[in-house]
Amino acid sequence: MNRTSIVLLLLVIPIVSLALDDGPRPGYRDTPIIPGQKWKVHDSERPYPVVVDPGAGIFSTARPDDAVVLLDASADLSAWSSGGKEARWGVVDGTMEARPGSGDISTRDSFGDIQLHIEFRTPPEVKGDSQGRGNSGVFLMERYEIQVLDSYQNPTYPDGQCAAFYGQWPPLVNACRGPGQWQSYDIIFKAPRFSADGSLLAAARATVIHNGVMVHHDREFLGPTSHRRKPSYSKHAPLGKIKLQDHGNPIRYRNIWLRNLPDETESDSR
Ligand code: MG
């Protein structure tokens, strides 16, 4: 190889690698730094969590006898409401389906520290990309979102992918199953504690197991979920509803139950 060929090759290699790149990554660079982290909110440069195949789903309708059932195989939506009225989501094949445009739904009852089991399925027909594909969310106390998204071969900003504490923490790994496959979250959630003057005594925390794979361990929420902004706490009631998000995609849910957990906080202000 002569000198000219080598020079040409050196010029061509970066062009080819640019062409192989997927282009700009979804996300933002004009957002504030997340408190205590080196990344910005929805940072497009944040590394993608490693993909882990969780294996085939093993589902059981068995549940502990102290469980509060929020949705079982009868797909009775009476535990849920749309702003205090009958839940506007649909029932399909014994599951509950978000009807795009119908709005979020919430439990009629309110909860504090809980162990929550919930199963979901993003649409088998893949439409859209990034945040537009299979988006929903499990909002604890209607404030703290564990993201639901089709994150199977669907790049998005890591703090917004499936199982993220949206806008705060990506999951430790990406343990998603593919579109149309049932997936599970097991979430152990501790509600935040506030003092009488409204200051934060203890942040909300959660452990999340996605399809049997631990993706957050006793992780602190930095505040209620927000989009493009720094999260920050303000005092709220000690109990809150669980909200499921209508983000315009027909996500299905089934087999939802929780256990109320005993209060282990020594300086409990509730
Ligand atoms: Mg969401």
pLDDT digit string, tens, across residues 8-67:
555 544 444 444 456 789 999 999 999 999 999 999 999 999 999 999 888 888 999 999
pTM value is 0.89
Q: Is the pLDDT of residue 166 over 90?
A: yes
Q: In angstroms, what is the span from residue 130 Cα to ligand 1's centroid?
A: 11
At 10 the pLDDT is 53
Residue at 19 is within a domain: no
CATH code: domain of residue 149: 2.60.120.560
Residue at 13 is within a domain: no
Q: What is the pLDDT of residues 185-206, one digit of tens each?
A: 999 999 999 999 999 999 999 9
At 15 the pLDDT is 45
Range of the domain at 234: 28-268
Q: CA–CA separation, 59 vs 103, rounded Å?
A: 28
Residue at 227 is within a domain: yes
DSSP 9: H
Number of domains in the chain: 1
Q: In angstroms, what is the span from residue 5 Cα to ligand 1's centroid?
A: 51
Residue at 102 is within a domain: yes
Q: Is the pLDDT of residue 267 over 90?
A: no
How far, in Å, are 1, 11, 48, 215, 257 from residue 24 at the CA level? 35, 22, 14, 26, 40
Q: Which two tokens stand for residue 197?
A: 């003057």
At 24 the pLDDT is 87
**Ordered strands of the 80-82 beta sheet:** 85-86, 80-82, 105-107, 243-244, 136-140, 144-148
Q: In angstroms, what is the span from residue 244 Cα to ligand 1's centroid?
A: 9
At 3 the pLDDT is 64
Q: In angstroms, what is the span from residue 261 Cα to ligand 1's centroid?
A: 26
User: Which residues have their alpha-adjacent CB atom under 5 A from ion ligand 1?
Assistant: 135, 137, 147, 245
Q: In angstroms, what is the span from residue 235 Cα to ligand 1's centroid?
A: 23
pLDDT class for 263, splitting at 50, 70, 90? Answer: confident
Residue at 109 is within a domain: yes
At 38 the pLDDT is 97
Q: In angstroms, what is the span from residue 104 Cα to ligand 1's centroid?
A: 11
Residue at 7 is within a domain: no
Helices (H), the chain: 3-20
Q: Does 20 or 257 have the greater pLDDT score?
A: 257
Q: In angstroms, what is the span from residue 137 Cα to ligand 1's centroid?
A: 4
Residue at 16 is within a domain: no
Q: In angstroms, what is the span from residue 247 Cα to ligand 1's centroid?
A: 6
Collapsing DSSP to helix, strand or coil, 201 comes out as: strand
Residue at 6 is within a domain: no
Q: CA–CA separation, 91 vs 99, rounded Å?
A: 10
Q: In angstroms, what is the span from residue 97 Cα to ligand 1's centroid?
A: 15
Which candidate, 152, 129, 186, places its Cα nearest to that of 49?
152
Q: In angstroms, what is the span from residue 53 Cα to ligand 1's centroid?
A: 22
Q: In angstroms, what is the span from residue 250 Cα to ligand 1's centroid?
A: 12
Q: In angstroms, what is the span from residue 136 Cα to ligand 1's centroid?
A: 4
Q: In angstroms, what is the span from residue 206 Cα to ligand 1's centroid?
A: 17
Q: Is the pLDDT of residue 265 over 80?
A: no
Which candidate, 23, 250, 42, 24, places its Cα nearest to that of 133?
250
Q: CA–CA separation, 215 vs 121, rounded Å?
A: 18
Q: Is the pLDDT of residue 143 over 50?
A: yes
